[in-house]
Structure 1
Amino acid sequence: MNKQLLERITFNPNQCGGKPCIRNMRIRVTDVIELLASGLTAEQIVTEELPELEPEDITACLLYAAVRLNHPVLQAA
C-alpha cells in the first residue's frame, strides 16, 4: 500500500458532510469513482472534468476504495 497516495485523501467534518475528499478540495472520492464507473478515463477526468486534480489523485481514490473494501468482516458466532 502506498501511504503517500492515501495522504491525498482528507476528511473534514465541516466539508462535504465529512466524506473523504481529495487534498482538502470539495471533490469527493465518490465523485471520482463515479466518473470512472461512467466510462471516463483518468486522463479525461484530469483534463476535462476536474482539471484541478492530478493523475495521482485518481490513483489515490482507487487505492482508498480498495483499502476500504478490503477490510476483515467479523461475524458473531
Structure 2
Amino acid sequence: MSKTRAHSSPKRRGRARTGALPKDLYAYAEARPLPRIGRPPKHSPETWTVTDDWPDPLPVTEAEIDLFEAWFGDLFDELFGPST
C-alpha cells in the first residue's frame, strides 16, 4: 500500500468540519426566497379573488354526521360537552 493511501483513512472522509454554531439557529426563517428563474407567472396571486359559491345552508347527510361522530366524538364531547 502506498504512503498516500495509508494516510487517507475512510473514517475521515466525508466528515463535516466542526466549528462554532451560529448564534441564531432559526435565522433560516428570515431568509429571502431566491429569485424565480424562468418566465414570470401570467397571473399574479396578489390579484386573485376567492369566492364562496357553496349553498347556504350547506347540505350534510346523516351518514356524514355519523362518520364525524365516530371519528371525532371524543373531541366533540371535550369541546362542546357530552351529547344528550
Same fold at TM > 0.5: no
Q: In proportion to residue count, which structure has more strand? A: 1
Larger RCO: Structure 1 or Structure 2 (Cα < 8 Å, ≥ 6 residues apart)?
Answer: 1
After TM superposition, the score normalised by the length of structure 1 is 0.17
